[in-house]
Amino acid sequence: MIIRSVRLLFFAFLFFIAGSVSAQHSNGEEENTSATNTTTAHIEKFNAGKMIMDHIIDSYEWHILTYGEKHLSIPLPILILHERKLVSFMSSAFQHGHSPVFFDQNFDRILPENLNSTENIAFGLAIMHEGKHKSKIAYITADDYLLHHTIIENTEAGMPYDFSITKNVVSLWVGLLIILWLFFGIARTYKKRQGMAPKGIQSALEPFIVFIRDDIAKSSIGEHKHEKYLPFLLTIFFFIFINNIVGLVPFFPGGANLTGNIAVTMVLALFTFFITLINSNKNYWKHIFNTPGVPWWLKFPLPLMPIVEVLGVFTKPFVLMVRLFANITAGHIVTLGFISLIFIFGNINVGLGYGVSVISVAFAIFLAFLELLVALIQAYVFTLLSALYFGMATEEHHE
Amino acid sequence: MELVSPGLGLIFWMTLSFAIVLFLLSKYAWPLILNSLKERETEIANSLEAARQARKDIQNLQAHNEDLLKEARNEREELLREARQLKDDLILKAKSQAEIEAKQIVENAKALIEQEKTAALSQLKNQVADLSIEIAERLLKSELSADKKQKELVEKLIGEAKHQLN
């Protein structure tokens, strides 16, 4: 019953996607010309670096497209923990990041038209546009704003506890819903078709499951102990793989750079790190502090090997974190770079822009295929290395 | 810089959501899927083993059948040979029996003939004796008058009888 309703939701979602695609397609051409128009009209140069950055970092609203002067974006809820109280409002209050939001003593939002004096302002929040906390919500003082009346670039008022449902959080939930729908679906199929040949999605996913079990878990951890870690390995593999793929879909609800976000990869790496530590045995620590097969003068009086090994305990998950982040982010940057070329050349000459678009789109398509491969490879590498670390931590002492 | 500074909110939501999904999948989806897979694999392995066993059994059965057939054929041959032997023996036996019997019959016949002959001879002797006596009687009756004639007659008769006996 639950699975059926989840499936229904998913199809509703697909329809929504299809709608947004067709909207984007019909607007695609105008978008191009409008982009060039606005740049010439406002004498505001197209900034490829800024555009790419805006696409790959997290955001408080989900920007879908800009049509002329109008921005079509989905506002997302902002959740700020201020003095042990949760303050919530929609990100549309920031007006695409151009305005700050002020609150009074009762944590009620002061609407812009009532913002005449600084008297009843308790605290203010704004999305930073420059500096250390760029594109994050920071506290601002009323004076900051009322003095300059412009976009606040930096502040000394500090950072709030920000638990906002950002674009990446929404994308995360979309990805997780897809995963839950897929695997509860096939679990049901497995139960229903006990002992029969796989069918449908089941037969598409089974090779991956069997591969992870046999060639990752069993070969890295061992015949007897691998079963304990298999659920985690399968979950991270499909989490990374599916979210990589979702990240490649260029329209809502895809396109968020979730697996290329350092916070997400950090959490994944920390899961691996803690599972490794919790399950590590005496032999593992012996290898770290008293590495066998190494000359004594590498351990005493200067404990060179132990230092290297202890560092290794932390560099392993760190490398996991950076590798996934860098690979996925790089893919997004390069693809967006090719698309940017169209607008860079379009700024010089509209015709040139159209000409370059052919080459750029061809390269972007090539990259998309490459990224599909990378999506699989990175999921595989993360899972394989996690399995290797678990294997190392649980390896028994043998002569 | 904003690219490599992890956001607190995202860390929180990611940890929470991922942990929940990990828990849900580990409890309700993965064990079911993995167990089904394992069961199916053992089933397939067992079936293959059973098929191999069956094939082997059939082969054994065929070999056994062939052996049986061969044995039966041998037995038949043996039986035939024995029968032929028996037939030959019987014929041989019958032949010798027949020979012996034939000999016996011939012997018997010979003996009978001998007997008949002896009987006939003795009868003849008796007849001759009777005849002689008769002759003698008649001679005696007719010729006993002259001595000389009597003697001549006797000698003539004896000579006749001798001639007859030889």
Q: For testing the chain B interface, which of A163, A174, A178 should be mutated: the one with the most B CBs within 10 Å?
A: A163
**Residue among B10, B28, B37 whose CB faces A169 most closely:** B10
Nearest alpha-carbon partner for A104 in A90, A118, A91: A118
Task: Give the distance, in angstroms, between the CA of residue B119 and the centroid of all CA atoms in the same chain.
Answer: 54
Compute the nearest-CA separation of A139 from chain B (Å): 15
**A229 min Cα distance to partner chain B (Å):** 10
Question: Does A41 map to a domain?
Answer: no
Residue B58 C-alpha, separation from nearest chain A C-alpha, in angstroms: 27
Please tell me the distance from the alpha carbon of residue A284 to that of residue A263, in angstroms, as a whole number: 28
**A101 with A122, same domain?**
yes
C-alpha separations of A102 from A135, A161, A364 in Å? 18, 16, 43
Q: Which of B7, B13, B40 sits opposite A172 (nearest CB)?
A: B13
**What's residue A40's pLDDT?**
40
Q: What share of chain A in percent tops pLDDT 70?
A: 83
- The pLDDT value given to residue B158: 85
- Contact predicate A115/A140, CB 8 Å: no
Cβ-defined contact of A261 to B33 (cutoff 8 Å): no
pLDDT greater than 60 at residue A1: no
| DSSP-assigned letter for residue A197 | P
Measured between CB atoms, does A165 come within 8 Å of chain B? yes
Q: Does residue A364 fall inside a structural domain? A: yes
Domain that holds residue A106: 77-162
CB atoms within 10 A of CB B78: 10
Model confidence pLDDT, tens digit, residues A333-369: 998 898 898 888 888 888 888 888 899 999 989 998 9
What is the overall mean pLDDT for chain B? 88
What stretches of B15-139 adopt beta strand conformation (E)?
A: none
Query: Which stretch of DSSP H or E encloses residue A137?
Result: strand A137-140
Of A162, A177, A201, the position where a domain reaches its end is A162
Query: What tokens appear for B151 in the block?
Result: 């003697």
Q: Does A135 touch chain B (CB under 8 A)?
A: yes
Q: Do residue A142 and residue A183 come from a single domain?
A: no
> In this complex, is the C-beta atom of A387 within 8 Å of any C-beta atom belonging to chain B?
no
Task: Test A191 with B32 for CB contact under 8 angstroms.
Answer: yes
E-state strands within B10-160: none
Mark yes or no for CB contact B34/A266 under 8 Å.
no
Report yes or no on A49 lying in a domain.
no
Question: Which pair of tokens denotes residue A225?
Answer: 């102990």
Bridge-based pairing of strands A137-140 and A85-90 is: unpaired
pLDDT at A300: 77
Same domain, A272 and A302: yes
Q: What is the pLDDT of residue A210?
A: 93
Q: Do A209 and B13 touch (CB under 8 A)?
A: no
Q: How far is B48 from chain A (nearest CA, A)?
A: 14
Identify the closest residue of chain B to A78 by CA–CA distance: B9
Question: A interface mutation test: which of B4, B13, B41, B47 has the most A CBs within 10 A?
Answer: B13
Q: Which of A120, A137, A162 is the last residue of a domain?
A: A162
Contacts of A132 in chain B (CB under 8 A): 1
**Does residue A10 fall inside a structural domain?**
no
Q: In terms of pLDDT, which residue wins out, A141 or A203?
A: A203
Whether A209 and B40 lie within 8 Å, measured CB to CB: no
Going from N- to C-terminal start, the domains of chain B cover 8-165
Angle between the A350-394 and A226-248 helix axes, to the nearest 10 degrees?
Answer: 170
Of the ranges A335-339, A395-399, B29-33, B70-74, which one carries the lowest mean pLDDT score?
A395-399
A172 and A150 co-located in one domain: no
For tokens 């929180």, the residue is: B12
Contact A176, A256 (CB under 8 A): no
Beta bridge partners of A161: A81
Checking if the pLDDT of A264 tops 90, the result is yes
Q: Coil, strand, or helix at residue B55? A: helix
Number of domain units in chain A: 2
Contact B8 A161 (CB under 8 A): yes
CB nearest A267 (choices: B4, B11, B29):
B11
Q: How far apart are CA A44 and CA A23, in angstroms?
A: 26
- What are A85's two structure tokens? 């109280």
The answer for A 227-256 residues in CB contact with B (under 8 A) is: 227, 230-232, 234-235, 239
Q: Give me the pLDDT at residue A67, please.
A: 81
Q: Which residues of A276-297 are buried (b: 16+ CB within 10 A; e: fewer)?
A: beebbeebbeebbeeeeeeeee
One domain for residues A136 and A213: no
Confidence band, pLDDT 50/70/90 cuts, at residue A395: confident
Please tell me the least confidently modeled range out of A345-354, A371-380, B1-10, B70-79.
B1-10
Of B3, B14, B24, the CB nearest to A57: B3
For residue B53 the two structure tokens come to: 């066993």
Confidence of residue A2 (pLDDT cuts 50, 70, 90): very low
From the number of C-beta atoms within 10 Å of its C-beta (0-12, 13-18, 19+), residue B130 rates as exposed
**Mean pLDDT computed over every residue of chain A:** 81
Q: Does A218 touch chain B (CB under 8 A)?
A: no
H/E segment holding residue A22:
helix A2-42
End-to-end alpha-carbon separation of chain B, Å? 170
The reply to whether A291 falls in a domain is: yes
Identity of the residue in B3, B29, B34 whose CB atom sits nearest the CB atom of A184? B29
Report the pLDDT value the prediction gives residue A145, as an integer from 0 to 100.
66
Beta-carbon contacts of residue B148 (< 8 Å; ≥ 6 apart): none
Tokens standing for A124? 């203010």
Q: Which residues contact B102 (CB under 8 A, 6 or more apart)?
A: none
ipTM beyond cut 0.85: no
Helix or strand (DSSP H, E) at A67:
strand A61-67
E strand or H helix at A256, and its extent? none
Smallest CA-to-CA distance from A173 within A93, A306, A77 is with A77
Can you give the pTM of this predicted structure?
A: 0.74
pLDDT in tens, B85-109: 999 999 999 999 888 988 888 888 8
Helix axes A167-192, B30-143, angle to 10 degrees: 20
| Residue A237 or A223, more confident | A237
Chain B residues touching chain A at CB-CB below 8 Å: 1-15, 17-18, 21-22, 24-26, 28-34, 36-37, 39-40, 43
pLDDT band at A150 (very low <50, low <70, confident <90, very high): low
Nearest to A270 by CA among B75, B77, B6: B6
For residue B19, give the chain A residue with the closest CA. A271
- Calpha distance A3→A182 (Å, rounded): 9
Assigned domain for A120 exists: yes
**Partners of A162 in the β-ladder:** A80
- Tell if the CB–CB gap between B14 and A186 is shorter than 8 Å: no
| pLDDT for residue A66 is more than 90 | no
Q: What is the pLDDT, as a whole number, of residue A9? A: 45
A232 and A364, same domain (yes or no): yes
CA angle A277, A282, A284 (to 5 degrees): 60
Residue at A308 is within a domain: yes
Given 3-state DSSP classes, what are the helix, strand and coil percentages for chain B, each rounded to the nearest 5?
Answer: 95, 0, 5
Range in A167-171, A187-191, A286-290, B136-140 with the lowest mean pLDDT:
B136-140
**Residue at A362: amino acid letter:** A
B contacts of A56 (beta carbons < 8 Å) = 3
Residues A190 and A134 in one domain: no
Exposed/middle/buried for A266, CB within 10 Å: 0-12, 13-18, 19+?
A: buried
Same domain, A154 and A290: no
Tokens representing residue A4 in the block: 């059926």
Q: Which two tokens stand for residue A77?
A: 């809820």
Is A370 domain-assigned? yes
Same domain, A328 and A349: yes
Distance CA(A264)–CA(B10), nearest Å, equals 7
Note whether A275 and A378 are same-domain residues: yes
Query: Cβ of A195 and B21 within 8 Å?
Result: no
| B4 contact residues in A (CB cutoff 8 A) | 262, 325
Query: How much is the average pLDDT of A368-383?
Result: 94
Is A208 near chain B, with CB under 8 Å? no
Question: Does residue A22 register a pLDDT over 50?
Answer: no
Q: Is there a single domain that holds both residue A119 and residue A182?
A: no
Helix (H, G, I), strand (E, B) or coil at A88: strand
A183 touches chain B (CB under 8 A): yes
Predicted confidence band of residue A69 (pLDDT cuts 50, 70, 90): confident
How far is Cα A325 from Cα A191, in angstroms, rounded to an integer? 37
Which residue among A58, A190, A231 places its CB closest to the CB of B26? A231
Reported as a pLDDT band with limits 50, 70 and 90, residue A18 is: very low
Do A258 and A328 fall within a single domain? yes
